[in-house]
Amino acid sequence: MWISISLRSRIYLILIALVFISLVGGVVLVWYTYQMEKLLTSIISRDLTAYRTAETLATALINQKGFVSYYFLDGDPDWLRQLGEHRQIFREKLNLATSRAEKEEEKRNLELIESEYQAYIGLKDRVIDYYKNGKREAGAMLHQKVRRHFFKILDLCENYKNIYTSKIIQASAKTYIQARKLRVIAWVAMLFIFCLATLLALVLANQILEPIHRLAVVADREKGSLKSKNEIKALSRSVRDLIEDVDHTQSELKKSREHLLQAEKMALVGKLAAGMAHSIRNPFTSVKMRLFSLSRSLDLSGPQEEDFEVISQEIRQVDTIVQNFLEFSRPPRLKMQSISPSTVVDSAIQLLEHRLKSYDVTIKVNRKDLLPKIQADPEQLKEVLVNLVVNACESMENGGLIVIKEERAYTPPLGQVAVIRLSDNGPGIPESIQDKILQPFFTTKEEGTGLGLSIAARIVEQHGGWLDLNSKEGEGTTFILTLPAKETGLEHHLDY
């Protein structure tokens, strides 16, 4: 039954039991304090007061003794006056005791005292009369009888006092019994609380703390970070590391998914380009040759030459599109050689010299010295740079400036790298399409194929590097080529 209950429920049940026992124990203790207070109040307010009244009653009776003897000896009437005062005090004490008596036993005892006291006073008054009339012998004899009566009344007062003495003793015994019960209840409650606390400690230790410790040890990647004995902190750190790994894995999975989609597109384009190679390119080659022959043999007018040139340009555009498809579907094999990327940059700028003038674009190279030689295919890298420069020119409709900055750096995990930054002051690329700009077939141009930048990115990846984009709308665009510098000797020339 206990095993089938969930861990959370077990802890809650134990805590509820602890709270319940503590509350019950507290309520019982409070109730017993009220009972003891009531009992003590009863003793103090009634029994103890009645006991004192009984004691004063006996004292008032004792104080009446001797006055008649003193009067017998010297005949001074003042003794009789004092006797009358003490008699009045005794009656007041007796009336007070009678008014406070509640039980029949007390009332009967007081009635008996009063009746005996009345008889005692009557006899004593006769003795006084005998002494006043000179009948000393008769007075002395009666006086002996009065003394016996006095002790009888005194015994009755003692009995009355013993009633309250017994009540006080009984109340004290009840208080002692209740105190013992209270101690027993307190010990039992403490025992239950101790047992429940032990059970809770075992549950926490065996089913929470120990599993957390084992989990922290298993999740501890640094192997030794538990020296502080703070398993929760170590486990929290391990969980954070795990979350970071999950985020990194998700990012890598997203990239892999994108690469897979790109590979599917590439496979589809490969099939399409392979079919187009024989059915489209060969006829276009024949058409281009015929047009070239006609351009040399025909004597055309101005409008005819313009039409002829438009036809030639369109045919060259179609041929370029077909060529891009073929390059994307079946990329040429890299012809690696030792070359400085700076040499490739100069070659691309020289190749584009006339096109830059036609676009009214100025190009500037920031270079401290030539980048050291690396293993690369110069023609393929030149195609990348030409593609980036042409795209920058086309984005700046009214001319502009292109800055090429060469630098050396250290970038994990490649290590030493050669970096080429190509920046323009054009309109920039909207942030909403920046993550798509390097994907195949994505273009913002009306006549573009969407393959130029994707081919450039693939060429850089084939060289073991990557192509990054940094752009802000209205502030221009920067493409960053990062190439691994694995050529021997490069690491000795890089600036740190």
- pLDDT tens for 287-309 read 767 676 776 677 667 777 777 77
Rounded Cα distance between 234 and 221, Å, is 10
- pLDDT tens for 4-61 read 666 567 677 777 877 777 777 777 777 777 776 666 666 655 666 666 777 777 787 7
User: For residue 148, what pLDDT is reported?
Assistant: 81
User: For residue 302, what pLDDT is reported?
Assistant: 73
Please give the average per-residue pLDDT across 334-339, as a whole number.
87
Do the beta carbons of residue 90 and residue 57 sit within 8 Å? yes
Which residue's entry shows tokens 């009557």? 122
Rounded Cα distance between 30 and 109, Å, is 39
Which range has the top average pLDDT, 5-9, 100-104, 197-201, 383-387? 383-387
User: For residue 212, what pLDDT is reported?
Assistant: 72
- Cα atoms in the Cβ-side hemisphere of radius 13 Å centred on 329: 17
User: For residue 126, what pLDDT is reported?
Assistant: 83
Please give the average per-residue pLDDT across 277-293, as a whole number.
67
Which of the four pLDDT bands, split at 50, 70 and 90, describes residue 231? low
CATH C-level class of 334-492: alpha beta
User: For residue 345, what pLDDT is reported?
Assistant: 92
Both structure tokens of 299: 């004597």
Which range has the top average pLDDT, 104-108, 254-258, 401-405, 445-449? 401-405
- The proportion of the chain whose per-residue pLDDT surpasses 90, expressed as a percent, equals 6
Please give the average per-residue pLDDT across 451-469, as a whole number.
85
Under DSSP, the state recorded for 432 is G
Residue 67 has pLDDT above 90, yes or no: no
**φ, ψ for residue 445, nearest 5 deg:** -95, 145
Do the beta carbons of residue 466 and residue 340 sit within 8 Å? no
Q: Comparing 133-137, 222-226, 347-351, 405-409, which segment has the lowest mean pLDDT?
A: 222-226
Residues 6+ apart with CB under 8 A from 13: 5
Residue 264 has pLDDT above 70, yes or no: yes
Name which residue leads in pLDDT, 416 or 295.
416
User: For residue 266, what pLDDT is reported?
Assistant: 63
User: For residue 423, what pLDDT is reported?
Assistant: 92
CATH domain 250-330 topology: Helix Hairpins (1.10.287)
Do the beta carbons of residue 469 and residue 429 sit within 8 Å? yes
Alpha helices in 205-281 (DSSP H): 210-219, 231-276
Residue 469 has pLDDT above 80, yes or no: yes
2 by DSSP, 3-state: which? coil
User: For residue 371, what pLDDT is reported?
Assistant: 87
Q: What DSSP line would sit under 282-341, residue for residue?
A: HHHHHHHHHHHHHHHH----HHHHHHHHHHHHHHHHHHHHHHHHHHHHSPPPP--EEE-H
Do the beta carbons of residue 57 and residue 156 sit within 8 Å? no
Residue 468 has pLDDT above 80, yes or no: yes
Question: pTM for this structure?
Answer: 0.40
- pLDDT tens for 188-230 read 877 877 787 788 777 777 777 677 777 767 766 555 554 545 5
Residue 142 has pLDDT above 50, yes or no: yes
Please give the average per-residue pLDDT across 458-480, as a whole number.
88
User: For residue 270, what pLDDT is reported?
Assistant: 60
Q: What DSSP line would sit under 93-131, residue for residue?
A: HHHHHHHH--SHHHHHHHHHHHHHHHHHHHHHHHHHHHH
User: For residue 457, what pLDDT is reported?
Assistant: 86
Helix and strand element counts for the chain (H, E): 14, 7
Question: Which residue ranges make up each domain of the chain?
Answer: 7-208, 250-330, 334-492
Residue 403 has pLDDT above 90, yes or no: yes
User: For residue 150, what pLDDT is reported?
Assistant: 80
